[in-house]
Amino acid sequence: MREAIARLSPGYFALVMATGIVSIGLRDVGFIAASRVLMWTAIAAYATLLVLYLARAIAFRHEVLADLRNPAAAFAYFTVVAGTDVLGVRLAQEGLHAPAVILFCFGTALWFVFGYVLPWQVLMTRDGQPILARTNGTWFVWAVASQSLAIVMTQWAPLLGAEAARWAGVLAVLAWAVGVILYAVIGVLVLLRIVQFGITPAQFDPSYWVSMGALAIAVVAGAGIVGMAPTPMVDAVRPLMAATVAVFWTFCAWLVPLLVGAGVWRHLVHRVPLRYEAALWSMVFPLGMFAVASIAMGRTDALPMVEQIGQVALIVAVVAWALVFVGMLQRIGSVLWRTLGFRA
């Protein structure tokens, strides 16, 4: 058990992200009961992971500090921000505004802290190895966290007074713009890494699916900002966002076959074993996010074909979630069995 906590992935809050977004998708298509089951599953996972992360920070401080300074692992901690925001949005949809606001405040504070501390730790720490060679799909979670904050602001604004709502509009646009720019910069860095250093099938793990999920959440965030009540900042960018949302969605759709092909190349061509790992949740989240983005865009812009694509993507996301969840339960059972066996 101690070994499992010591080796706990910094990106395990992708479990909350994936469960929360699939819950939102099921709610959007009318499967309320199933959506609530996943909502409570996300709540339980969130509480459990908070305890485990705190236990790891106390008992294995050196391992946590090593992750924070490791370019290949540090940005995965942004899953804490995104997971907090996604769960808060789902609770707000359920009418649980008090806990949702607490999560919104916590997620906003984490975004500001992590947004400056983590990149500083990574970029200013030198261990003799090139940083560019260790860029990977987890870097895109930084952009996801920014877009999740933008969505939080669109949910929060109607609950605030007029003056506070104007500031929420400013922060929503700021977070959306930062997320888009970060996506572009990270995309260039990851591409340069692949061109200069190459990438092996084993290195092309499921976290690279976040490259699609980061754009899909930008679609949802942008559509939410376009639908916000008029404020000076929102009105200034509304036409731009309305246009870019459609462009981002089409690029998401283009990325899906590319990522599927990369999975075939990894597992079927090069025989990399497909077994449970925490990074698989970073694949489930983009699938669910693409489904929610497609359904939202299809309904908002009266595009039935796009909505149907979203419904099919949601079925895929639900199946993927169930398979990965079963794999996680088997892994947890294996750890508990070994722990009980050692105690006996």
Per-residue pLDDT, averaged over 30-34, amounts to 94
Per-residue pLDDT, averaged over 65-78, amounts to 89
pLDDT at 342 over 70: no
Task: Indicate the angle between helix axes 304-343 and 281-300, nearest 10 degrees.
Answer: 160
Name which of 11, 33, 173, 175 is nearest 83 in CA terms.
11
The predicted pLDDT at position 126 comes to 66
In this structure, what DSSP letter does residue 279 have?
G
The predicted pLDDT at position 29 comes to 92
What number of CA atoms fall less than 13 Å from residue 255's CA on the CB side? 20
Distance from C-alpha of 73 to C-alpha of 77, rounded to nearest angstrom: 8
pLDDT at 34 over 90: yes
Name which of 186, 206, 195, 207 is nearest 122 in CA terms.
186
DSSP codes of every residue in 181-216: HHHHHHHHHHHHHHHHH---TTTS-GGGGHHHHHHH
Task: Indicate the angle between helix axes 32-59 and 61-68, nearest 10 degrees.
Answer: 110
Cα dihedral angle (85, 224, 250, 146), rounded to 10 degrees?
-40
Per-residue pLDDT, averaged over 15-31, amounts to 95
Per-residue pLDDT, averaged over 197-213, amounts to 91
Whole-angstrom CA distances from 197 to 131, 190, 204, 279 are 11, 10, 13, 22
Tell which wins on pLDDT, 87 or 159.
87
The predicted pLDDT at position 343 comes to 55
For the chain, what is the mean pLDDT? 90
Tell which wins on pLDDT, 34 or 335.
34
Whole-angstrom CA distances from 80 to 19, 23, 53, 152, 301 are 14, 18, 10, 14, 32
pLDDT above 90 covers a percentage of the chain that reads 59
Specify whether domain 2-343 bears CATH 3.40.50.150.
no
Task: Indicate the angle between helix axes 210-226 and 281-300, nearest 10 degrees.
Answer: 30
In the chain, domain spans = 2-343
Q: How far is CA 306 from the centre of its chain?
A: 22
pLDDT in tens, 143-189: 999 999 999 888 887 777 777 888 888 999 999 999 999 999 999 99
Distance from C-alpha of 271 to C-alpha of 316, rounded to nearest angstrom: 23
pTM as predicted: 0.91
